Amino acid sequence: MNTASTALSLQHLRARLGKVCVSIIGSTPDEMFEKAAEAVRENSFLELRLDYLPKPQLALPMLKKFMASHSAATVIATCRRVAAGGRFKGAIAAELEILEGAIAAGCQLIDLEIESAEALKKPQLAALRSHGAALIISHHDFEATRDLDATFHRIQPFAPEFIKIVSTAKSLSDNVTMMRFLERTRDLANLIGICMGEQGVISRVLSIRAGSAFTFAAAHAGEETGPGQIDARSLIETYRIGQLDAATRVYGVAGNPIKHSLSPLMLNTAFRRETVNAVFLALQTSKLTDLLKLVREVPLHGLAVTMPLKQEILPHLEKTDPLSQRIGACNTIVRSQEGKLYGFNTDVAAIVRPLEKRLQIKGSRILVMGAGGAARAAVFGLKEKGAEVFVMNRTHDEALKLARQAKAKTLKREALAKNSFDVIINATPVGMHGVKATHLLDPKELNTRLVFDLVYNPVDTPLIRMAREKGLPYITGVEMFVHQGARQFEIWTGKPAPEDEMMRVVIRALQRRSDEAPKPQ
């Protein structure tokens, strides 16, 4: 095939590729192609991970039938060896045989790891390429994000149709490293660049904007082929990856843990509903310097800040609203066009307003459990409304410090059963999904007229269940969560938030998680 016809063939192939390639796995050929048939109805661009099968050769006849009956499908065949991070235990010769069989079955692209390419003799590689499929040569670093340029120059001499470089993000700024690499080399080759890991989510969403030919997605949650991989429906519907462009504003929720946060679903839903060209990402970090570098480099236009950064970030802000200054905690940040950061606190209103709907706060006795950012918002906000506020914390010195600052009172755990309150508020992470559960209260200590748990995921926390069993009214964290998110949306966009829609998607997602959770035996 001459150079001109190769270029035309590649141009035709590029036109067929979507921005999202859905990776299909299965423990048997039947399972794999059943999943492929389901996925291809919504996305015609697939990767078949043949190395997940015990005997990939046995899948080739089914692959041929699949390709014949799905002429619109564009398929990458991958049979990655164990030595390169895959599951295929055979030799390189067996890998080549499977890939050649996949090409003969109709696959338009094959993925060959650089380790195999370097071990092949030139005639072997030439023979593989002579079958007509486009070649992706890939490199996966499962430990870090290192010298991406060196990896690029290692692969480039093989002149594949696509160069795929996948690293592991150990920090948020590793995503910046990947995206800057894509931006400066995008004109030199057809590149695919992604960071794996929980901290690599940014690159999985934004890499296409930086120059990656496409990105990879799992067919469903729980079927990821790489750490941090996002399911296809979320990439397409929640993150709207097909609509991201240079003008798309980037926002995020920063903290640790962040994996189970529903903020991306809630805020991306609001952006879509109000036709705002913006995307909202989960930014897992405990390092403020890492986060601030990301804010500058991407750049981010706004942040929702959660544990453990609500207080630590204050010295880095140009200015905060009076509420944040008084409380000493900020959960919402806006970045100006000049790059300056301004802080706001939407937690206070999100705690106070649900309570105002149910009782008169002035004169009420309210216990706040915790001494972190959310607890500070509750204590200062309720004191301002005239409540008699008590602070209880596992570390009593922290409770004393907060109480002195807010002119509140403290209470030790041993005195709890002898006291009664109008409201008990949980402002600790106890009960949160992903946080190792610890004992919060005994039933005899729940002497209150109303319980308010600021944890929203899951809705049915141990504290809420205890309140229900005692016949006590309660407020779940969902009400606070949606309310503070709606205020953030309004600060960032200047538009009224679609609060009902935000509440609907959050409740639906939490219900789905509850339904899918393992039931106790």
Contact between residue 285 and residue 256 where contact means Cβ atoms under 8 Å apart: yes
Q: What is the three-class DSSP state of 371?
A: coil
Token pair of 411, please?
Answer: 């209470």
Q: Is 18 annotated as a binding residue?
A: no
Indicate if 164 belongs to the active site: yes
Indicate if 140 belongs to the active site: yes
Which residues, 6+ apart, have CB-to-CB distance to 131 below 8 Å? Answer: 100, 103, 104
Q: What is the three-class DSSP state of 392?
A: strand
- Which helix H or strand E contains 149, and what residues bound it? helix 148-155
Distance between CA 58 and CA 9 in Å, rounded?
Answer: 30
Q: Is 437 annotated as a binding residue?
A: no
Q: Is 335 annotated as a binding residue?
A: no
Q: Is 422 annotated as a binding residue?
A: no
Q: Is 456 annotated as a binding residue?
A: yes
Indicate if 362 belongs to the active site: no
Q: Is 336 annotated as a binding residue?
A: no
Q: Is 477 annotated as a binding residue?
A: yes
Q: Is 442 annotated as a binding residue?
A: no
Distance between CA 117 and CA 98 in Å, rounded?
Answer: 15
Pairing of strands 341-344, 365-369: unpaired
From the candidates 19, 35, 70, 310, which is the catalytic residue? 310
What one-character-per-residue DSSP string does 226-255 give? STTPPBHHIIIIIS-GGG--TT-EEEEEEE
Distance between CA 265 and CA 239 in Å, rounded?
Answer: 8
Q: Is 485 annotated as a binding residue?
A: no
Which residues, 6+ apart, have CB-to-CB distance to 338 below 8 Å? Answer: none
From the candidates 164, 301, 433, 483, which is the catalytic residue? 164
Distance between CA 17 and CA 35 in Å, rounded?
Answer: 20
From the candidates 140, 301, 433, 483, which is the catalytic residue? 140
Q: Is 159 annotated as a binding residue?
A: no
Q: Is 27 annotated as a binding residue?
A: no
Contact between residue 84 and residue 113 where contact means Cβ atoms under 8 Å apart: yes
Q: Is 234 annotated as a binding residue?
A: no
Q: Is 484 annotated as a binding residue?
A: yes
Q: Which of 289, 314, 444, 295 is nearest to 373 (CA)?
A: 314
Q: Is 145 annotated as a binding residue?
A: no
Q: Is 413 annotated as a binding residue?
A: no
Q: Is 105 annotated as a binding residue?
A: no
Distance between CA 339 and CA 295 in Å, rounded?
Answer: 9
Would you call 150 exposed, middle or buried from its count of C-beta atoms within 10 A (0-12, 13-18, 19+)? exposed
Q: Is 13 annotated as a binding residue?
A: no
Q: Annotated binding residues for 3-dehydroquinate, as ranges?
A: 23, 47-49, 80, 204, 225, 229
Q: Annotated binding residues for shikimate, as ranges?
A: 261-263, 306, 331, 347, 456, 484
Active site residues: 140, 164, 310
Q: Annotated binding residues, as ranges?
A: 23, 47-49, 80, 204, 225, 229, 261-263, 306, 331, 347, 370-374, 454, 456, 477, 484
Q: Annotated binding residues for NADP(+), as ranges?
A: 370-374, 454, 477
